[in-house]
């Protein structure tokens, strides 16, 4: 589930002053531009590997992690907060007597790391007593000493805070000048410096960067008491500060002039559009409920893919390990064997951990597996899940899919969602071509309200912008739209997907799973897609 409270926590709780503990220690901005010497990390890792082997572990992996975050939070003409955090430590996972054990320490000395490795081994041995079947790890070849870095152009951690503040306050001023009553804008920058070593013979040094620039514009009509918001149309991305360059080639203008964004974002331009569109929302007519053909922009579809495909195809959910929190899945193993018709033949959905610019892209996952791309749904049929090393054997696979992740050095790595994306249509088709064929439909841009049941059957989604489509033409802006789906019927109602020239990513910075809960960041790509005969409800109510 996506964490609804995170923005509140970062924007308001931090505004109050003291930091929540999970974010790590607060540091000066200039400290964000430094790394730990690889030789030091290797010494720490070897101390853990040796200590665990001596204590009786048959497998050990070590993650030496330095997690950096920066938040710049503004509203209107005011900076509410600038926070830089760092958290450094070592997480050690072992198998002993066929069971997992884990321990972590923030004491960066060889003796402390060795002690934690022995503790992890002792925990594994204790866990083995109640374990019904020993852990089976899919083989993963050691890769020796290698490194990988997110292919960024401008390291956002090196951009002065003043430049970031100037950018956000400029965005806010533009929105206010264009008719916004209120505007909030935030910049989140993340850098995970992760060193992984294992008894398989891998020493993997990775430098992972992510960025997100959300904004919210509010328009109010005091006389009627009505208010409306329009969220920004950016996506969190695995990119550097170049994402905010707003290059012309990365702009995707819809037939009715709505500008969407690809691999870069023009935040100021979007804020101005948001202000105008939020004002228009105050006057837009309410949707007539019923069945419509929906044309969904990628800035919207990513969330529907995330909830109705990404989550149900996580193998731990399918097996029941998440039953008490995130839930299970309707997409049970028998359905994969039977090549269940998950969607129409237009629906091919892949998982990947490699696509440049995505949130999920890394060279190796958090158990040292080289990442890849693989099909989940091929021409509408369910063909595969997302599995990690200790799950691969359940599917008869000989290797992990490489989608294991821990959100912190002190968290145990486990199966997390890869990027899961709807592949573009093979035939040439633009958004205008697609809309030209729709008689009675709604064009939806941006993600809004979202909710799905614990087996991922019944979902409801809102959006940011809704436009009528009548007889092949986009008409007026409308409001109060939400659509309800049953997952397999929805994906089987997909009648066409625009070609690769329209392909773009959306994503989540804070996807929550597990107990205790961990977050992960994941992208979902698609081209604009059409779904026929979807149930649309009207969400307007009156409080009298």
Residue 464 binds to another protein (criterion: CB under 8 A): no
**DSSP output for 288-333:** PPEEEEEEE-HHHHHHHHIIIIITTTBHHHHHTTTTTTT---SS-H
Positions in 365-384 near another protein (CB under 8 A) = none
Residue number, 218 or 344, with CB nearest to another protein: 218
- SS3 for 397-412 is CCCCCCCEECCCCCCC
Positions in 222-261 near another protein (CB under 8 A) = 222-229
Residue 357 binds to another protein (criterion: CB under 8 A): no
Residue number, 180 or 244, with CB nearest to another protein: 180
CA–CA separation, 13 and 180 (whole Å): 24
Residue number, 226 or 470, with CB nearest to another protein: 226
Residue number, 398 or 542, with CB nearest to another protein: 542
Q: Which stretch binds another protein (CB under 8 A): 56-64, 296-304, 324-332, 351-359?
A: 324-332
Quote the least distance from Cβ 18 to another protein, whole Å.
5
Quote the least distance from Cβ 209 to another protein, whole Å.
23
Reference 312, options 377, 235, 406, 400; nearest CA is: 377
**Per-residue contact string for residues 109-138; x = within reach of another protein by CB under 8 A:** ------------------x--xxx------
Q: Which stretch binds another protein (CB under 8 A): 52-60, 359-367, 388-396, 449-457?
A: 449-457
**DSSP output for 174-224:** HHHHTT-SEEEEEEEEEEEEEEEEETTTEEEEEEEEEEE--EEEEEEETTT
Radius of gyration of the chain (CA): 24
Q: Tell me if the bond preceding 45 is cis, omega within 30° of 0.
A: no
Q: What is the DSSP letter of 19?
A: P
Token match 């939070």: residue?
A: 73
CA–CA separation, 238 and 116 (whole Å): 32
Residue number, 44 or 99, with CB nearest to another protein: 99
Residue 18 binds to another protein (criterion: CB under 8 A): yes
Residue 88 binds to another protein (criterion: CB under 8 A): no
Residue number, 266 or 322, with CB nearest to another protein: 322
Task: Provide the H-helix boundaries in 6-59.
Answer: 6-8, 38-54
Q: Which stretch binds another protein (CB under 8 A): 40-48, 221-229, 386-394, 463-471?
A: 221-229
Residue number, 261 or 340, with CB nearest to another protein: 340
Residue number, 50 or 127, with CB nearest to another protein: 127
Q: How many CB atoms lie within 10 A of CB 539?
A: 16
Residue 515 binds to another protein (criterion: CB under 8 A): yes
Q: What is the DSSP letter of 491?
A: H
Q: Which stretch binds another protein (CB under 8 A): 146-154, 185-193, 415-423, 533-541?
A: 533-541
Q: Which stretch binds another protein (CB under 8 A): 45-53, 220-228, 366-374, 523-531?
A: 220-228
**Per-residue contact string for residues 133-152; x = within reach of another protein by CB under 8 A:** --------------------
User: What is the distance, to the nearest Å, from the Cα of residue 535 to the centroid of all Cα atoms in its chain?
Assistant: 27
Q: Phi, psi at residue 49, to the nearest 5°?
A: -60, -45
Q: How many CB atoms lie within 10 A of CB 19?
A: 13
Residue 108 binds to another protein (criterion: CB under 8 A): no
Residue 386 binds to another protein (criterion: CB under 8 A): no
Largest CA distance in the chain: 75
Residue 27 binds to another protein (criterion: CB under 8 A): yes
Residue 511 binds to another protein (criterion: CB under 8 A): no
Determine which residue in the list 40, 153, 177, 323 makes contact with another protein, applying CB under 8 A: 323
| Contact between residue 419 and residue 430 where contact means Cβ atoms under 8 Å apart | no
CA–CA separation, 203 and 45 (whole Å): 9
CA–CA separation, 41 and 118 (whole Å): 18
Q: Which stretch binds another protein (CB under 8 A): 38-46, 50-58, 218-226, 354-362?
A: 218-226
Determine which residue in the list 212, 252, 261, 450 makes contact with another protein, applying CB under 8 A: 450
Residue number, 207 or 480, with CB nearest to another protein: 480
Positions in 465-494 near another protein (CB under 8 A) = 480, 482, 484, 486
Determine which residue in the list 249, 257, 334, 540 makes contact with another protein, applying CB under 8 A: 540
| Contact between residue 359 and residue 521 where contact means Cβ atoms under 8 Å apart | yes
Residue 334 binds to another protein (criterion: CB under 8 A): no
Positions in 148-177 near another protein (CB under 8 A) = 161, 165
CA–CA separation, 523 and 242 (whole Å): 18
Quote the least distance from Cβ 409 to another protein, whole Å.
12
Residue 321 binds to another protein (criterion: CB under 8 A): yes
Residue 453 binds to another protein (criterion: CB under 8 A): yes
| Contact between residue 320 and residue 330 where contact means Cβ atoms under 8 Å apart | no
What sign results for the dihedral spanned by CA atoms 328, 334, 339, 345? Answer: negative
User: What is the distance, to the nearest Å, from the Cα of residue 164 to the centroid of all Cα atoms in its chain?
Assistant: 23
Q: Which stretch binds another protein (CB under 8 A): 98-106, 252-260, 388-396, 397-405?
A: 98-106
Residue 39 binds to another protein (criterion: CB under 8 A): no
Measured in residues, the chain has a length of: 544
CA–CA separation, 103 and 62 (whole Å): 10
């Amino acid at each position: 589930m996506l964490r609804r409270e995170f923005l509140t926590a970062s924007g308001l709780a931090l505004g109050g002053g003291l930091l929540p503990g999970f974010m790590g220690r607060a540091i000066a901005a200039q400290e964000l531009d430094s790394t730990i010497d690889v030789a030091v990390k290797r010494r720490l890792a070897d101390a853990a590997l040796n200590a665990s082997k001596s204590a009786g572990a048959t497998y050990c992996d070590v993650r030496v992690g330095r997690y950096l975050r920066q938040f710049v939070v503004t509203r209107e003409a005011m900076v509410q907060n600038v926070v830089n955090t760092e958290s450094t430590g070592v997480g050690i996972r072992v198998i002993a007597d066929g069971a997992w054990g884990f321990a972590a320490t923030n004491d960066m000395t060889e003796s402390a790391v060795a002690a934690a490795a022995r503790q992890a081994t002792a925990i594994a041995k204790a866990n083995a007593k109640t374990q019904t079947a020993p852990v089976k790890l899919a083989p993963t070849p050691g890769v020796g000493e290698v490194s990988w870095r997110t292919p960024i152009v401008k390291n956002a951690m090196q951009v002065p805070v003043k430049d970031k503040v100037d950018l956000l306050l400029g965005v806010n001023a533009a929105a206010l000048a264009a008719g916004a009553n209120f505007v909030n804008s935030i910049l989140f920058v993340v850098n995970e410096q992760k060193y992984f070593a294992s008894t398989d013979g891998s020493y993997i040094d990775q430098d992972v960067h992510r960025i997100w620039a959300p904004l919210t514009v509010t328009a109010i009509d005091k006389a009627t008491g009505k208010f409306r918001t329009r969220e920004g149309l950016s996506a969190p991305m695995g990119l550097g500060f170049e994402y905010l360059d707003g290059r012309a080639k990365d702009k995707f203008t819809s037939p009715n002039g709505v500008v969407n964004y690809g691999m870069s974002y023009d935040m100021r331009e979007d804020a101005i559009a948001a202000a105008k569109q939020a004002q228009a929302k105050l006057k837009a007519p309410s949707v007539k409920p019923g069945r419509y053909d929906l044309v969904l922009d990628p800035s919207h579809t990513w969330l529907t893919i995330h909830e109705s495909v990404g989550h149900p195809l996580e193998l731990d959910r399918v097996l029941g390990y998440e039953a008490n929190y995130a839930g299970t899945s309707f997409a049970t193993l028998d359905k994969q064997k039977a090549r269940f018709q998950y969607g129409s033949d237009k629906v091919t959905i892949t998982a990947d951990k490699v696509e440049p610019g995505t949130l999920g892209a890394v060279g190796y996952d958090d158990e040292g597996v080289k990442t890849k791309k693989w099909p989940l749904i091929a021409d509408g049929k369910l063909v595969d899940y997302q599995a990690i090393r200790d799950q691969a054997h359940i599917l008869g696979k000989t290797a992990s899919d490489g989608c294991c992740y821990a959100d912190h050095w002190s968290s145990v790595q486990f199966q997390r969602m890869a990027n899961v994306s709807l592949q573009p249509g093979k035939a040439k088709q633009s958004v205008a071509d697609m809309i030209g064929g729709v008689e009675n439909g709604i064009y939806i841009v941006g993600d809004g309200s979202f909710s799905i049941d614990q087996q991922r059957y019944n979902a409801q989604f809102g959006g940011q912008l809704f436009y009528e489509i009548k007889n092949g033409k986009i008409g007026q802006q409308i409001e109060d739209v939400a659509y309800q789906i049953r997952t397999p019927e929805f994906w089987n109602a997909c009648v066409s997907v625009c070609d690769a020239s329209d392909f773009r990513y959306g994503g989540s910075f804070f996807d929550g799973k597990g107990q205790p809960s961990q977050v992960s960041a994941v992208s979902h790509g698609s081209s604009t897609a059409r779904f026929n005969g979807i149930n649309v409800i009207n969400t307007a109510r009156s409080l009298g």
